[in-house]
Amino acid sequence: MRQLVLVMLFSAFSSMVFGQKAVVQSPDQKIVVGLFPGQSNDIGEWYIKASYNNNGTIIEAIPRIDLGLSRSDQDFSKDLKFLKAGKPIFINEEYTALHGKRAACKNAANEVVVSFENPTKAKLNIIIRAYNDGLAFRYEFPDKQGSFVVKDELTAYTIPKETTRWMEKWNPANEGLYAAMNKDKTVSGEWGYPALFSTDNKDCWFLLHESDVNRNYCGTKLSNAAAAEKYKLTFPNPQDGRGLGESAPVITLPWKSPWRVIIMGTLADIVGSTLVNDVAEPSVIKNTSWIKPGIASWNYWSSNHGTKDYKTVCVFADLAAEMGWPYTLLDWEWDAMGNGGKLEDAAKYIQSKGIKPLIWYNSGGNHTWVTATPKDRMLTHQNRVEEFSMLKKLGFAGVKVDFFESEKQDMIKYYLDILEDAAQFEMMVYFHGCIVPRGWERTYPNLMTYEAVRGAEWYNNTPDFTMPAPEHNATLPFTRNVVGPMDYTPVTFTNSQYPHITSYGHELALSVLFESGMQHLADRPEGYYELPDAAKTFLKNVPNAWDDTRLVDGYPGKEVIMARRKGNDWYIGGINGEQNEKKKTVKFDFLREGVKYKLTLIADGKHDKAFATQYMVVDKSASVDVTLLRRGGFAASLIPIK
């Protein structure tokens, strides 16, 4: 039988094989990556092609991915001579994630190393891996010495215009809205990661990203400015970070590039994938017992100057204590705190409630225009040692560092320096005004979350977020939050400066839908205290680090229903991103066989600010019908009955 399957696969892929110099298949043989010459011989330009086997139907997902690099001393793109393709090897690694969408993770792939040389005999390797949920490739200069500038990376994805895409216009803080495009609606420009694509075959989706960006390179973005259907990797704009730092990275041999990551499969495969972390370097922190994900109260959303007021800080510490959340955050202006106490008093009060304090910093330096203080206390190793020493003595558990405004190589180094120094003092870290995740939370598990999203804070900034927020919220689980933790600061029932039109059920669901190792629930205390008992209890118990994640139903921008497991308990969040009421049937086929669960379903009531709560006993064979108001939602818990 296995031989028959292999023959069928060979036949199906025969159209790919002509001219192909190397091939690598995923362990389950659903994904095939082929290497092809751009000419009739073995010297010239090269590209790879990614195909997906959907139950015997072969889908050419990405017909061409151009390869190559341009270095300050010579070119590695136009006249590359193919030397050999190594034998496939099986990468098989298991690791545990301390926070994220899944605790037990696997890095399992088939890998092939393809070797080239240019006209000067200088060597370039391309390392290609095929995973069950996607593919990844990276460049390698194997020579043992030399330091050079990478002038350009020629990696470019050719995407047929029929492919639907969800993309965010590039901006340094990664806080834009996603736009859906295809065919004649495709726009040219610069785009941030991640980018989601749906082929003509609705069972094949893919998401473009990168991982394992380190001090040896810069972050990149996608640009189709030159040709609408070709998305080329592009280095940071020279003006980013107020023009400080070089856009083109300097490398020292031997060298490997970041991984170019393509998550591929069904929409459920995309949502459930940990591929961005799988390819990243393993943890460099040996003792991780002090790294504890959790929910935090946060005063900035409801009072922009809240941390300036000692009494407000105490009220939010009380909120965390009442709700059973382990953290509260002191945001900007803590160095100007008054009205009854200073920083030391606040730290003492917070800890007297059994809560741990977190604290905000401006990243400082001339790379940011923002003058908010405290500034520059994270900027150098000496600054950080002094500050972390002080924070450790006062009992702080972590720092929020804001306003990076660049993904140039010097800023990548700065991010990683902060993480390494913080680990020495057992301090957790989260970044704001920052880069989208690049797998660092595997290497540095004290990195709890990143902003890099247009989140609820934007209700403070502009009236323009109110109307697009429901559709945006229903897009993020398929895009930004796929690739790593996301500090959206969700679950707000009252209003900030500008109102939201999402229902209470929608807001409650975000506690499950949006994953963040440090989850800041942003509403003012009365927003939580005045909830009905079922909703309040839900927020007291909902985890924020998960053992498993499943997409139950959904489509980007329209709706999403997701189930997440912690231990034996399951939690479900579902939202409607559209302006019309919907009825959805939620199946519980992800539950364990032979186990009965108590279902608490908290859905939309008769209007946006009302809940309708049901309790019932269900098992794996059961289902429930849920009504979602326009822009509505629901949340549910499933607890095993002993």
- What pLDDT does residue 14 have? 44
* HSE toward the beta carbon, residue 262, CA cutoff 13 A: 30
Residue range 580-612, pLDDT digits in tens: 999 999 999 999 999 999 999 999 999 999 999
- What pLDDT does residue 18 have? 60
- Domain final position from 236, 257, 278: 278
Tokens encoding 606: 């008769």
In this structure, are residues 205 and 482 in contact, taking their beta carbons and an 8 Å threshold? no
Asked if the peptide bond before residue 63 counts as cis, ω within 30 degrees of 0, the response is no
Provide mean pLDDT across the span 480-492: 98
Residue 131 counted as domain residue: yes
Alpha carbon distance 21, 37 (integer Å): 8
Look at residue 8 and tell me whether its pLDDT is greater than 70.
no
- What pLDDT does residue 410 have? 98
CB contact burial 225-255 (16+ within 10 A = b; e otherwise): eeeebbbbbbbbbeebbeebbebbbebeeeb
In this structure, are residues 80 and 71 in contact, taking their beta carbons and an 8 Å threshold? no
CATH of the domain at 254: 2.70.98.10
Residues in CB range of 394: below 8 A, 6 or more apart: 343, 344, 347, 357
Give the chain's domain count.
2
In this structure, are residues 447 and 421 in contact, taking their beta carbons and an 8 Å threshold? no
Residue 27 counted as domain residue: yes
Mean pLDDT lowest among 40-44, 54-58, 87-91, 527-531: 54-58
Residue 288 counted as domain residue: no
Output the average pLDDT for the chain: 96
Q: To the nearest 10°, report the CA torsion of 260, 265, 271, 275.
A: -30
Q: Which of 203, 210, 200 is nearest to 159 (CA)?
A: 200
In this structure, are residues 325 and 520 in contact, taking their beta carbons and an 8 Å threshold? no
- Domain final position from 219, 252, 278: 278
Q: What number of other Cβ atoms are within 10 A of residue 163's Cβ?
A: 20
Look at residue 469 and tell me whether its pLDDT is greater than 70.
yes
Residue with tokens 């994953």: 515
Provide mean pLDDT across the span 151-179: 97
Alpha carbon distance 230, 296 (integer Å): 42
Residue 48 counted as domain residue: yes
- What pLDDT does residue 573 have? 98
In this structure, are residues 65 and 34 in contact, taking their beta carbons and an 8 Å threshold? no
Residue with tokens 């009965």: 596
Provide mean pLDDT across the span 178-203: 93
CATH of the domain at 473: 3.20.20.70
Q: Is 337 left (phi over 0), alpha (psi -120 to 50) or beta?
A: beta
Provide mean pLDDT across the span 247-273: 98
Residue range 89-121, pLDDT digits in tens: 999 999 999 999 999 999 999 999 999 999 999
Alpha carbon distance 60, 55 (integer Å): 14
321 phi/psi in degrees, rounded to 5: -65, -45
Residue 259 counted as domain residue: yes
Residue with tokens 């209003």: 495
Residue with tokens 């969800």: 166
Look at residue 338 and tell me whether its pLDDT is greater than 50.
yes
Residue range 192-240, pLDDT digits in tens: 999 999 998 889 999 999 999 999 999 999 999 999 999 999 999 999 9
Q: To the nearest 10°, report the CA torsion of 572, 503, 498, 304.
A: -40
Alpha carbon distance 74, 407 (integer Å): 25
* Angstrom distances, CA of residue 590 to CA of 97, 556, 565, 578: 22, 22, 10, 26
Question: Residue 582's domain spans which residues?
Answer: 453-516+525-642
Alpha carbon distance 345, 327 (integer Å): 16
- What pLDDT does residue 17 have? 56
Look at residue 379 and tell me whether its pLDDT is greater than 70.
yes
Q: What number of other Cβ atoms are within 10 A of residue 448's Cβ?
A: 30
Alpha carbon distance 633, 637 (integer Å): 14
- Domain final position from 250, 278, 306: 278
* DSSP line for 409-429: HHHHHHHHHHHHHHHHTT-EE
Q: Which of 148, 6, 167, 139 is nearest to 65 (CA)?
A: 139
Mean pLDDT lowest among 52-56, 239-243, 410-414, 542-546: 52-56
**Which residues is 473 bridged to in the sheet?**
none
From start to end of 88-189, where are the E strands? 89-96, 104-117, 123-131, 134-141, 147-153, 156-158, 164-169, 178-181
541 phi/psi in degrees, rounded to 5: -105, -20
* Helices and strands, counts by H and E, the chain: 14, 38
pLDDT over 70 for what percent of the chain?
A: 97
At residue 79, what is the residue type? D
Q: What number of other Cβ atoms are within 10 A of residue 548's Cβ?
A: 15
Look at residue 1 and tell me whether its pLDDT is greater than 80.
no
Alpha carbon distance 427, 87 (integer Å): 43
In this structure, are residues 479 and 488 in contact, taking their beta carbons and an 8 Å threshold? no
Alpha carbon distance 532, 546 (integer Å): 26
Burial class (CB in 10 A: 0-12, 13-18, 19+), 372: middle
Residue 302 counted as domain residue: no
Alpha carbon distance 431, 448 (integer Å): 9
In this structure, are residues 567 and 582 in contact, taking their beta carbons and an 8 Å threshold? no
Look at residue 9 and tell me whether its pLDDT is greater than 90.
no
Residue range 290-332, pLDDT digits in tens: 999 999 999 999 999 999 999 999 999 999 999 999 999 999 9
Residues in CB range of 257: below 8 A, 6 or more apart: 69, 138, 139, 140, 153, 217
Residue 554 counted as domain residue: yes
In this structure, are residues 473 and 577 in contact, taking their beta carbons and an 8 Å threshold? yes
Strands 398-402 and 250-252: unpaired
Strands 428-431 and 398-402: parallel
Residue 264 counted as domain residue: yes
Provide mean pLDDT across the span 501-505: 98
CB contact burial 325-341 (16+ within 10 A = b; e otherwise): bbbbbbbbbbbebeeeb
